[in-house]
A = this chain, B = another copy of it.
């Protein structure tokens, strides 16, 4: 939502000759970008979208390539760097100076809504096995379970992928309590925003869609019923002992 857009991102978009992105994401900045400056690509054409943006910039145009959340987290920035590093774009495009503007990622937006579940060590794991073998994802989930990290799952399910989240839940239940708090968040920052809490053993795949952020607590995470409703947080321990190291 615009309340989370940094001044840097707004300035870069406003200064662009052309704004490139997935059509749903360009709708989010519609007020900032005249229709004549927009070039949209459908979902699935990520490589084409990034290559196009680089080639247009190689012609001397100022191009803003839009991601939702943080462009550097499961988004287009890594693909842009890869296309340039691998020589998959023209010489002119490969010499384009690239600025990555950080933003508020979905896990941060979700966390802020419920308290502070990311207050101590956490990790993010994409459950999409379209580009990563499931065995590699599974071993990453196992490592995160053994390391007792708070976990943010990205791409938890899709229309075709229905088993991964349940498999991940089964692995986690071997390492942390059945009542570990889990938060499900969708449409953050929009009117239809929806936040729910579940126990880890009661997490159901069918109540998660591809745009839901799933945040699983560590064994230290707590769900407190306060006056204003449930709040989830992961203490760092300050309240028990003062940390003189870093604020």
B-contacting 9-mer, from A1-9, A27-35, A177-185, A197-205: A1-9
Residue A17 lies at the interface, judged by CB distance under 8 Å to chain B: no
A170 at the B interface (CB under 8 A)? no
Contact call B233/A78, Cβ cutoff below 8 A: yes
Which B residue sits closest to A101, measured CB to CB?
B112
A193-247 interface (Cβ within 8 A of B)? 210, 222, 224, 226-228, 231, 233-247
Q: Give the distance to chain B from A22, nearest Cβ to Cβ, in Å.
A: 4
Inside 8 A of A38's CB, which chain B residues have their CB?
none
Compute how far the CA of A79 lies from the CA of B116 in the bound complex, rounded to whole angstroms: 9
Task: Report if A47 contacts B (CB, 8 A).
Answer: yes
The A95-133 residues at the B interface (CB cut-off 8 A) are 95, 97-98, 100-105, 108-109, 111-113, 115-126, 128, 130-132
Number of copies: 2
Tell yes or no: A16 within 8 A of B by CB. Answer: no
In the bound complex, residues from chain B placing their C-beta under 8 Å from that of A43 are: 244, 246-247
What residues on B are CB-neighbors of A95 within 8 Å? 227-228
Question: How many residues in A have their beta carbons less than 8 Å from beta carbons of B?
Answer: 104
In the complex, residue of chain B having the shortest beta-carbon distance to the beta carbon of A151: B123
Instruction: Give the shortest distance, in Å, between A147 (CB) and chain B (any CB).
Output: 3
A158 adjacent to chain B (CB < 8 Å)? yes
Question: A186 within 8 Å of B by Cβ?
Answer: no
- Complex Cα distance A11/B2, Å? 13
Q: Please tell me if A45 contacts chain B, counting CB pairs below 8 Å.
A: yes
Query: Closest 3 A-B residue pairs measured CB to CB?
Result: A78-B119, A143-B147, A123-B123
Please list 23 pairs of residues, one from A and one from B, whose beta carbons are closer than 8 Å in the complex, sorted by A's number.
A4-B102, A44-B243, A46-B243, A71-B112, A72-B115, A72-B117, A75-B247, A78-B120, A78-B234, A78-B235, A79-B236, A81-B115, A84-B224, A85-B231, A102-B109, A123-B144, A131-B237, A131-B241, A140-B147, A142-B147, A143-B144, A154-B246, A158-B246
